[in-house]
Structure 1
């Protein structure tokens, strides 16, 4: 059966899962401009109140420090609030949890469903956002709501450019991390380092250009076959860069051979959504079978941009079902190529 993570336990997640330890330099930085504390000892009692209080249209980072505890309630970072940073003030990412509990099919007060995007615990439209040393979660309980069939429940939805998640956990089941952009054809870059993402169905998805470096990607056991799909990219055909996993670990509670690495998502049957997932120099567990990719409805996986390169571990095979990058292709499928852009952005060097 499906396992849900207990928020107060490390369970081998986050920093521990990637083999990392807290970096005092990266964990430090400027003194927070505002403090969130649920017990009333900070400047604000909720994360959203701190976001609302942050000045608009800043040209320098504005740091919101979040004290340990579970902070419930939907959070929206609007486009008018760029360069915000959420910094967890605990010792580990597990110590600070920002969470909500709605799904696609959960009804709003007006009786209409929230939808997938509306289900997000945290929505980020502000460019230059950064999160450090904390956890984002969607706590929707599928077993407690059998009447809800549309169970997509997003922990974080991103639609802005130049976003960084450093030592962050993303917890959910279906559609945990939605890396998107403001519109089809618009490039939005996201960099995730030493982080942890868990889920079951399409739990990393969207059209953003997103780089996962030294992250743990963990598939939960749904108790069914197939047990799920790790990625569902919808990269626009004009964008050469979709999802890149560099030196990551793909682990699972699910049985051997029951989870696909991905399938091509075509939102609203968009023919120009030619999804890209590239996994390179990463460890892959036994939950991934020889046929690692799946069709999505009538859209065949072979037409998507799915590739691997120099992966290892018991689930890392090379066969006709597992397309590989050539050495020449791998030389340009790098973190720098995905993120740098015309503005020279290099968050991996910070």
Structure 2
């Protein structure tokens, strides 16, 4: 992985409605715009619909996207908050926004198929994909989704790429539930705070890789929480839970099912001169063939675990609680 040029499908778990985090934001569905690549809606591309949203909108704008494949790059600028992208297909796999730009030519955020700069973004029932093929074209970051806006929500989505699939940056907070995330190297990364609840996380490379690369500032208590999720991979004993992009990187994996893909003896490793032992990497009550307790796998006590909940990770200074 190029470290780090930051420039500016199995069944999914059904989560009760109380957990989708729709309360306390701008009015839902105050405006609806429609997209269909076949011309049966108002707009043919997702970006065209985003462009039609008024700057500095103060209420929710839902952009519904007809099932199909939309090969484009989408940027949601910082002055267009409260945008929802909603796939209308029968599953998240039915509506796909995809491109294949690598960071080697487009830059980090330039490679992102969808780059969200605005706060209060909500993605639901669709796929974000970057199908740049590292094996065929050479190693490069190639993001499917970059979240730079605070208080982002992703429900029943698929986020798929090779290297650096999902970037959560700019100290943004994100709540991701009932979703599927796939990659090869550092495919959940950044300096934001994020919760992944009831998600499926898949290491697609047979030689393994690193699920997370947290760059959590030392002054920030929370980085990434993988909670009641399932981690699987293509082969056994080859996948790290993560490595510290920043020396104080913070990741907690708790009450999750870890398959045999996890490197059971030592699931954390060094990165860019940062020792994993000095990072804030924790586990709690994980299960499965890839779960165990040893000196390389710091475990939270029950008392400590009370401070590593979805609510704690996302509260910030404004009390945001999309998890219910």
Q: TM-score, normalised by structure 1?
A: 0.84
Q: Does the Cα contact within 8 Å between 2:15 and 2:177 map onto a contact in 1? A: no
What 5-or-longer segments of structure 1 have no aligned partner? 1-10, 106-112, 182-186, 267-272
> Once superposed, what is the RMSD of the aligned Cα atoms?
1.9
Task: Report the equivalent of 1:131.
Answer: 123
> 1 CA distance for matches of 2:15 and 2:272?
42
CA shift at 1:297, angstroms? 3.3
Q: CA deviation at 1:228?
A: 0.4
> What corresponds to 2:142 in structure 1?
153
- 1:277 pairs with one of 224, 236, 251: 251
For the Cα contact (< 8 Å) 2:197–2:226, is it kept in 1? yes
1:190 paired residue among 152, 160, 174: 174
- SS of the residue corresponding to residue 34 of structure 1 reads strand
Q: Tell me, yes or no, if structure 1 residue 36 matches structure 2 residue 44.
A: no
Q: Which residue in 2 is equivalent to 1:205?
A: 189
Matches within 5 A, 1:59-138: 59-105=58-104, 113-138=105-130
Does the 8 Å CA contact 2:30/2:60 hold for their aligned counterparts? no
DSSP-derived class of the 1:239 partner = coil
Contact 2:13 2:199 in 1 (8 A): no
The one of 171, 175, 178 equivalent to 2:164 is: 175
Aligned to 1:6: none
Could you list the runs of 5+ residues in structure 2 that have no partner in the other structure? 1-8, 23-27
| 1:123 CA displacement | 0.5
CA contact (8 A) 1:22 1:91 kept: no
| CA offsets 1:124-169 (integer angstroms, 9 cap, x no match) | 0110010111110001122442xx44x1110001111000001110
User: Which residue does 1:287 correspond to in 2?
Assistant: 261
What do residues 270-300 of structure 1 show as CA deviations (whole Å, max 9, x unaligned)? xxx5111100100000011221001113211
Match among 238, 245, 257 for residue 258 of structure 1: 238
Contact 2:150 2:174 in 1 (8 A): yes
Check the 8 A contact 2:37/2:70 in 1, yes or no: yes
Superposed counterparts of 1:236-255, under 5 Å: 236-253=217-234, 255=235
Provide closer, same or farther for how the CA distance between residues 57 and 104 of structure 1 changes in structure 2, counting only shifts above 3 A: same
Q: Secondary structure at the match of 1:33?
A: strand
Summarize deviations over 1:151-210 as a string: whole Å, max 9, x none: 1110001111000001110011110001111xxxxx321000101100010010000000
Q: TM-score, normalised by structure 2?
A: 0.91
Equivalent in the alignment of 1:110: none
- What is the aligned partner in structure 1 of residue 14 from structure 2? 20
Q: Deviations over 1:81-118 (max 9, x none)?
A: 0000001111110110011111112xxxxxxx212222
Aligned 8 A contact 1:99 1:138 in 2? yes
CA contact (8 A) 1:32 1:65 kept: no
Q: 1:158 to 1:207 in 2, by over 3 A?
A: same
Q: Quote how far apart the aligned CAs of 1:21 are.
A: 8.5
Give the distance between the partners of 2:237 and 2:69, measured in 1 at CA. 35
1:5 maps to what in 2?
A: none
CA pair 21-345 structure 1, distance change in 2 beyond 3 A: closer
3-state SS of the aligned residue for 1:52?
helix
SS in 1 for 2:109: helix
Distance in 2 (CA, whole Å) between partners of 1:211 and 1:310 is 17
1:46 match: 45
Cα distance in 1, alignment partners of residues 168 and 55 from structure 2: 23
